Protein backbone atom coordinates (compact mmCIF):
# COMPACT_ATOMS: atom_id res chain seq x y z
CA UNK A 1 0.00 0.00 0.00
CA UNK A 2 1.17 3.47 -0.86
CA UNK A 3 -0.25 6.72 0.48
CA UNK A 4 0.17 9.74 -1.78
CA UNK A 5 -0.88 13.38 -1.62
CA UNK A 6 -2.30 15.23 -4.61
CA UNK A 7 -2.86 18.80 -3.56
CA UNK A 8 -4.88 18.57 -0.37
CA UNK A 9 -6.20 15.10 -1.23
CA UNK A 10 -4.81 11.77 -0.12
CA UNK A 11 -4.89 8.62 -2.24
CA UNK A 12 -3.82 5.11 -1.36
CA UNK A 13 -2.65 2.98 -4.24
CA UNK A 14 -1.75 -0.71 -4.23
CA UNK A 15 -1.86 -3.60 -6.66
CA UNK A 16 -4.94 -5.37 -5.36
CA UNK A 17 -7.16 -3.74 -7.99
CA UNK A 18 -6.83 -2.00 -11.33
CA UNK A 19 -5.29 1.45 -10.81
CA UNK A 20 -8.12 3.30 -12.54
CA UNK A 21 -10.65 1.60 -10.26
CA UNK A 22 -8.80 2.69 -7.16
CA UNK A 23 -8.74 6.28 -8.35
CA UNK A 24 -12.39 6.04 -9.35
CA UNK A 25 -13.54 4.59 -6.03
CA UNK A 26 -11.62 7.09 -3.96
CA UNK A 27 -12.71 10.08 -6.04
CA UNK A 28 -16.32 8.91 -5.83
CA UNK A 29 -16.01 8.73 -2.08
CA UNK A 30 -14.39 12.16 -1.80
CA UNK A 31 -17.22 13.75 -3.76
CA UNK A 32 -20.04 11.68 -2.22
CA UNK A 33 -18.81 12.47 1.29
CA UNK A 34 -18.33 16.15 0.52
CA UNK A 35 -14.58 16.22 1.11
CA UNK A 36 -14.56 17.75 -2.33
CA UNK A 37 -17.25 20.43 -2.31
CA UNK A 38 -19.89 21.21 -4.94
CA UNK A 39 -18.30 22.76 -8.02
CA UNK A 40 -14.81 22.40 -6.62
CA UNK A 41 -11.97 21.76 -9.05
CA UNK A 42 -10.36 18.35 -8.87
CA UNK A 43 -6.72 17.66 -9.83
CA UNK A 44 -6.04 17.72 -13.55
CA UNK A 45 -5.38 14.50 -15.42
CA UNK A 46 -1.73 15.40 -15.80
CA UNK A 47 -1.31 16.45 -12.17
CA UNK A 48 -2.87 13.22 -10.86
CA UNK A 49 -0.75 11.14 -13.21
CA UNK A 50 2.42 12.92 -12.18
CA UNK A 51 1.77 12.84 -8.42
CA UNK A 52 0.66 9.20 -8.40
CA UNK A 53 3.43 8.26 -10.82
CA UNK A 54 1.05 6.60 -13.24
CA UNK A 55 0.07 7.12 -16.85
CA UNK A 56 -2.26 9.98 -17.83
CA UNK A 57 -4.37 7.54 -19.84
CA UNK A 58 -5.07 5.58 -16.69
CA UNK A 59 -6.29 8.71 -14.91
CA UNK A 60 -8.40 9.59 -17.95
CA UNK A 61 -10.09 6.22 -17.70
CA UNK A 62 -11.16 6.94 -14.12
CA UNK A 63 -12.23 10.51 -14.90
CA UNK A 64 -14.44 9.41 -17.76
CA UNK A 65 -16.25 7.05 -15.40
CA UNK A 66 -16.75 9.88 -12.92
CA UNK A 67 -18.34 11.89 -15.70
CA UNK A 68 -20.73 9.04 -16.49
CA UNK A 69 -21.55 8.82 -12.78
CA UNK A 70 -22.70 12.43 -12.98
CA UNK A 71 -20.22 13.39 -10.27
CA UNK A 72 -18.02 15.66 -12.37
CA UNK A 73 -18.28 18.23 -15.13
CA UNK A 74 -15.43 18.87 -17.52
CA UNK A 75 -14.63 22.22 -19.06
CA UNK A 76 -12.24 22.07 -21.96
CA UNK A 77 -9.19 24.17 -21.35
CA UNK A 78 -10.10 24.67 -17.70
CA UNK A 79 -10.20 21.31 -15.97
CA UNK A 80 -12.54 18.90 -14.24
CA UNK A 81 -14.90 20.01 -11.48
CA UNK A 82 -17.18 18.29 -9.00
CA UNK A 83 -20.81 18.65 -10.03
CA UNK A 84 -22.65 21.68 -8.74
CA UNK A 85 -25.80 19.60 -8.39
CA UNK A 86 -26.51 18.28 -4.91
CA UNK A 87 -29.30 16.29 -6.57
CA UNK A 88 -26.86 14.39 -8.78
CA UNK A 89 -24.76 13.42 -5.80
CA UNK A 90 -27.85 12.28 -3.94
CA UNK A 91 -28.93 10.20 -6.93
CA UNK A 92 -25.48 8.67 -7.20
CA UNK A 93 -25.49 7.70 -3.54
CA UNK A 94 -28.97 6.20 -3.78
CA UNK A 95 -28.06 4.22 -6.84
CA UNK A 96 -24.93 2.72 -5.36
CA UNK A 97 -26.38 2.17 -1.91
CA UNK A 98 -29.15 0.19 -3.55
CA UNK A 99 -26.68 -1.83 -5.55
CA UNK A 100 -24.47 -2.53 -2.55
CA UNK A 101 -27.42 -3.55 -0.39
CA UNK A 102 -28.89 -5.79 -3.07
CA UNK A 103 -25.57 -7.48 -3.69
CA UNK A 104 -25.11 -7.99 0.03
CA UNK A 105 -28.55 -9.51 0.45
CA UNK A 106 -28.03 -11.72 -2.57
CA UNK A 107 -24.63 -12.91 -1.40
CA UNK A 108 -25.88 -13.73 2.08
CA UNK A 109 -28.89 -15.44 0.58
CA UNK A 110 -26.67 -17.64 -1.58
CA UNK A 111 -24.91 -18.79 1.59
CA UNK A 112 -28.27 -19.85 2.95
CA UNK A 113 -28.92 -17.04 5.40
CA UNK A 114 -32.48 -15.73 5.65
CA UNK A 115 -33.43 -12.11 6.30
CA UNK A 116 -33.54 -12.50 10.07
CA UNK A 117 -30.10 -14.06 10.13
CA UNK A 118 -28.73 -11.38 7.85
CA UNK A 119 -29.97 -8.63 10.11
CA UNK A 120 -28.64 -10.37 13.18
CA UNK A 121 -25.29 -10.80 11.51
CA UNK A 122 -24.95 -7.21 10.41
CA UNK A 123 -26.05 -5.92 13.78
CA UNK A 124 -23.48 -8.03 15.55
CA UNK A 125 -20.71 -6.94 13.20
CA UNK A 126 -21.57 -3.26 13.34
CA UNK A 127 -21.72 -3.37 17.12
CA UNK A 128 -18.22 -4.84 17.21
CA UNK A 129 -17.01 -1.96 15.14
CA UNK A 130 -19.44 0.46 16.74
CA UNK A 131 -17.01 1.97 19.17
CA UNK A 132 -15.30 3.82 16.37
CA UNK A 133 -16.10 7.49 15.98
CA UNK A 134 -19.19 8.52 14.07
CA UNK A 135 -18.41 9.90 10.66
Partner DNA sequence: CAAGCGTATTATATCATATGATACACTTGA
Partner DNA sequence: TCAAGTGTATCATATGATATAATACGCTTG
User: Using CB under 7 A as the criterion, which residues of the chain lie in contact with DNA when the complex forms?
Assistant: 17-21, 44-47, 54-58, 60-61, 63-64, 67, 74-80
Task: Report the phi/psi class of residue 56: left, alpha or beta, with left for phi > 0 and alpha for psi in -120 to 50.
Answer: alpha
Cβ atoms of 83 and 70 closer than 8 Å = yes
Nearer to DNA by C-beta: 40 or 47?
Answer: 47
With a CB cutoff of 8 Å and minimum separation 6, the contacts of 24 are 62, 65, 66
| Minimum gap (Å) between residue 22 Cβ and DNA | 8
Distance of CA 127 to the CA centre of its chain: 24
Residues 14 to 53 in contact with its own copies, rule: CB under 8 A: 25, 28-29, 32-34
- Measured CA to CA, the distance from residue 66 to residue 107 in angstroms comes to 27
Distance of CA 71 to the CA centre of its chain: 10
64 binds, among its own copies, DNA, none (CB under 5 to 8 A by kind): DNA
Nearer to DNA by C-beta: 46 or 109?
Answer: 46
Q: Which residues bind its own copies (CB under 8 A)?
A: 25, 28-29, 32-34, 93, 96-98, 100-105, 107-108, 110-115, 118-119, 121-123, 125-126, 129-130, 134-135
Amino acid sequence: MDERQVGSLSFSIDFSQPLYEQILTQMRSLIARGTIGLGEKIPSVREMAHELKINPNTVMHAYQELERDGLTEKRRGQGTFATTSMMKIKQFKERFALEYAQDFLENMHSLGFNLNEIHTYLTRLSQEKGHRKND
